[in-house]
Amino acid sequence: MSIAIVDVIRAKRDGLELSPEQIDFAIDAYTKGLVADEQISALLMAIYFQGMQPAELARWTTAMIDSGKRSDLSSLPKPTVDKHSTGGVGDKVTLPLAPLVAACGAIVPQLSGRGLGHTGGTLDKLEAIPGWRAALSTEEYLRQLHEVGAVVCAAGDDLAPADRKLYALRDVTGTVESIPLIASSIMSKKIAEGAAGLVLDVKVGSGAFMKDVDRARTLAETMVEIGGAAGVHTVALLTAMDRPLGRAVGNALEVAESLEVLAGGGPADVVELTVLLAREMLALAGLSDVDPAIALWDGRAMDVWRAMIAAQGGDPAAALPVAGEIQIVPAPASGTLTGLDAYAVGVAAWRLGAGRARKEDPVSAVAGVLLRAEIGDEVKAGQPLLELHTDDPDRLPAAMAALDGAVSIDGPEVPLPLVVDRVG
């Protein structure tokens, strides 16, 4: 059957459900460069306004997966389960979580990305460790999963290449915010990874992509439905990102905090969320009887962490880099700290050098923000509230400007609960 892309555009423009053949054609032809950017841009805008039906979205996601290779993890001796976060400020949970779940008996194949804008990237954080490398061959990747039980590395170019092209187009056509397009982008890559189970951490609040609880819940429900349709057991937690997670925001700073968690300490919210996500992952792997909190406290998770870092060329015993310049931000008044805007803190860390404006920009391992108080703490005017870390003092004024109005003392804010909802 001959299909014309303009007919696919018209069908979606008019609110019709695209046929499987139309979807397969559009994704395949664009991936191969047979359809012009402006035509797929028109189709994306039509999807933005008209949405997609569940069966339509499932087929769209499958076509994106089929544009590349799907990992075959059937040779692995233990159940496989993965986790994905939609991104936030101070969200370093992947670092302690992957070795923790592996220490409890599952295998964690975690393909991660880099930060863009105010949200940090897992690979950028791990690259603060001397010698650690993100790129692994397929053989290295599978061997590490067999021998260590966990891997966190960069995805290869053959993982859902259609998504890479479509995402770049969405970014410049004002269609990033479409829930069907967000859901298919995330799920095409996670399903292609090949894990049998998937736990989604959907962030909500000022520092998250989804600011509103209802839209975050819709996104979670959409992704859980896509996962189920693809045969991947999927659950989602909606978690708070109205304030930073933990006390550290920035690459080396977040690695250091993750090590505190793996050593049995660390901020209470990071520990709680890590254990909650681990329990969800272990339940999907059929290991509900294993308590991840014990594996965190008794050192088994730290052992897997050291093996995981060493397997990728890193030195788990090496000292992390530290900033040459630290500026203290004092509390503006005395009282209860009721608000600390996650987005503002993320932008400050970005301006200090921890993030990038474009994918090709370098990042600083040492840059970031360290919180000296948490929401609910009593503070006194002038006491240290935040530390700004950088190697470039010229970046400090812009970071300070980002924090203007970010701190609330005795304000009306009511913080979100750490876990807002569960879907699946």
Distance, in Å, from the CA atom of 414 to the CA atom of 12, rounded to the nearest integer, reads: 41
Going by C-alpha positions, the residue among 151, 138, 141 that lies closest to residue 99 is 151
Distance, in Å, from the CA atom of 239 to the CA atom of 246, rounded to the nearest integer, reads: 13
The catalytic residue among 84, 92, 118, 217 is: 84
108-112 and 150-154 beta bridge pairing: parallel
Positive or negative: CA dihedral 19, 20, 21, 26: positive
Tokens of 357: 């404006």
- 78 belongs to the catalytic site: no
Going by C-alpha positions, the residue among 61, 18, 30 that lies closest to residue 234 is 61
- 247 belongs to the catalytic site: no
**Phi and psi at residue 345, in whole multiples of 5°?**
-65, -40
User: Which residues 6+ apart lie within 8 Å of 163 measured at CB?
Assistant: 64, 67, 184, 185, 188, 189
335-340 and 407-409 beta bridge pairing: antiparallel
CB neighbours of residue 411 within 10 Å: 12
C-alpha separations of 113 from 134, 253, 314 in Å: 10, 18, 18
The catalytic residue among 189, 203, 247, 389 is: 189
335-340 and 378-379 beta bridge pairing: antiparallel
The catalytic residue among 170, 190, 300, 389 is: 170
325-330 and 384-390 beta bridge pairing: antiparallel
Which neighbouring-strand residues pair with 108? 150
Distance, in Å, from the CA atom of 192 to the CA atom of 119, rounded to the nearest integer, reads: 24
Tokens of 96: 């302690």
Amino acid letter at 119?
T
User: Which residues 6+ apart lie within 8 Å of 197 measured at CB?
Assistant: 79, 80, 81, 82, 232, 233, 234, 281, 284, 285
The catalytic residue among 85, 185, 206, 364 is: 185
Going by C-alpha positions, the residue among 73, 75, 148, 84 that lies closest to residue 112 is 84
- 170 belongs to the catalytic site: yes
Distance, in Å, from the CA atom of 27 to the CA atom of 40, rounded to the nearest integer, reads: 9
- 84 belongs to the catalytic site: yes
- 288 belongs to the catalytic site: no
Tokens of 226: 């896509």
Which residues participate in catalysis according to the annotation?
84, 163, 170, 185, 189
